[in-house]
Amino acid sequence: MRRAVADRDPNALIRLLLRHTHLAQDAIARMCDLSQAMVSRVLNGSREIRRPESRSRAFDGITHGYAIPTPEMARVPAGLALGLNDSGEEAASVLRRLARADVDHTPGMEEGAGTSAVSPAVLSWLVRNAVSPEGNPLVEEGPVAAVRAATAAFGALDNRFGGENARTTAVHYLNDTVVPLLRRSHTEAVRRSLFTVAAEFVLSIAWMSYDAQRNGAARRYFVQALDLATHAEDRLLGASVMSAMSHQANYLGAHAEARDLARAALTGAGARATATMRAQFLMMEARAHAARKDRSDCFRALGEAERAFGSREPATDPEWIRYFDHSEYSDEVAHCHRDLGHAHVARRLAEQSLAASSGEEYARSRVFTRLVLAAAVLGQGEVEEAGHIGEQVVPLVQATSSARCVGYLDDFARQVLPHRDQPGAARFLRQARAVVAAGQ
């Protein structure tokens, strides 16, 4: 058995299954996604599974069903899921390996996935000439509708309660439902629609992983979402994935890469990008410039983003960009001015963002905005008020399973620390320390 696994030989494994288990031929056929006739021929020695796609599918089916530890997955390979795939079949196979490694907590998920590791995938995407087909609407029924609904449900949980809340369940759904759908035969319209909604679903897992600060896993999922969008021929969705990668890179301190990813999103989308998309991509570039303290380029990007946002027509936007409303836009500009040290402007914009946001749908986003507001108030020298805002945010951070929220809280606590001799600052720091310690 170990030799067959090491050789990734589904033919030998099928014969071993029949010899050492009570499985019938039809059960083995279903496991391997083969016809019973083919399994019968393998068993009697008249045929062998030779096509690489069929061998991979059969091997994955057997080892998944019996949880046989394959040698190459004792640790996650450094390059797993960090490149674009040549075919939809290969994309499904890579996704299955990634999801299984994630669910099984296979060591190495965070290794070899540094910010520069995604550069070849970005370049590969940029030089492809794929464009979104026009006049050919997506199928919106059956499994496509189901995956889209699942994406919306998991996204709502992520936005309200944080990435760790339902991430594992989402990865199971990817492995058990989405990947098998991608491996079946479909009409061209259904195939493209499935790859589109699968890209959106994998992108949601990437965001959840990023929010949970599982950044190596997040990068792998981001790249695979980019790949699925490519196979769906959806250039705009791919550009949105690139923008999300910029967001993560900026948070992790890779500001130059964040700038380049945002520019790649804008370049790759081209003239097909709606005004809302352009505004969002430009805001990611502006965020990167602000983090680098590059005022000139930041103001240039902010000016272009403002003009684009002012001309947007939300009715023309895909569903996945409609979250970028006045509240979100003001929050991003507030982040820029906070990083540039413009406390009074950051405060005004953070307050505008909070005033434009309501309900619980984006509870986590308001945590970020409130902490930007608190930092701006502190920057104005209002220590007691800043500490009071911080105290109000602490229970909101506790109500999420967001490592990023804890990170924001920790960053603000470090800013408050020099003022710990003041009562308001001291109260906040006592509360914040307990939450940060529990989140580490």
DSSP labels, 340-373: HT-HHHHHHHHHHHHHH--SSTTHHHHHHHHHHH
Question: 250 pLDDT exceeds 80?
Answer: yes
Question: 3 pLDDT exceeds 70?
Answer: no
3-state per-residue secondary structure call for 211-252: HCCCHHHHHHHHHHHHHHHHHCCCHHHHHHHHHHHHHHHHHC
H or E segment and range at residue 1 = none
Alpha-carbon span 400 to 260, nearest angstrom: 31
Alpha-carbon span 76 to 56, nearest angstrom: 17
Answer yes or no: are the C-beta atoms of 9 and 52 closer than 8 Å: no
Question: 70 pLDDT exceeds 50?
Answer: no
pLDDT tens digits for range 116-158: 888 899 999 999 865 555 556 777 788 999 999 999 999 999 9
> How much is the pLDDT for 15?
85
Q: Domain spans of the chain?
A: 1-74, 76-233, 325-440
CA-based radius of gyration for the chain: 24
> Cα separations (Å) of 70 from 7, 74, 97, 284?
10, 7, 11, 40
> How much is the pLDDT for 69?
44
- The three-class DSSP label of residue 36 is helix
Tell me the mean pLDDT in the region 304-332: 96
pLDDT tens digits for range 313-326: 999 999 999 999 99
Kindly indicate whether the domain formed by 325-440 is annotated with CATH number 1.25.40.10.
yes
Answer yes or no: are the C-beta atoms of 227 and 235 closer than 8 Å: no
Tell me the mean pLDDT in the region 284-308: 98
Whether this model's pTM surpasses 0.85:
no
Q: Please, which residues have CB within 8 angstroms of residue 402's CB and are 6 or more apart in sequence?
A: 161, 162, 163, 164, 211, 212, 364, 367
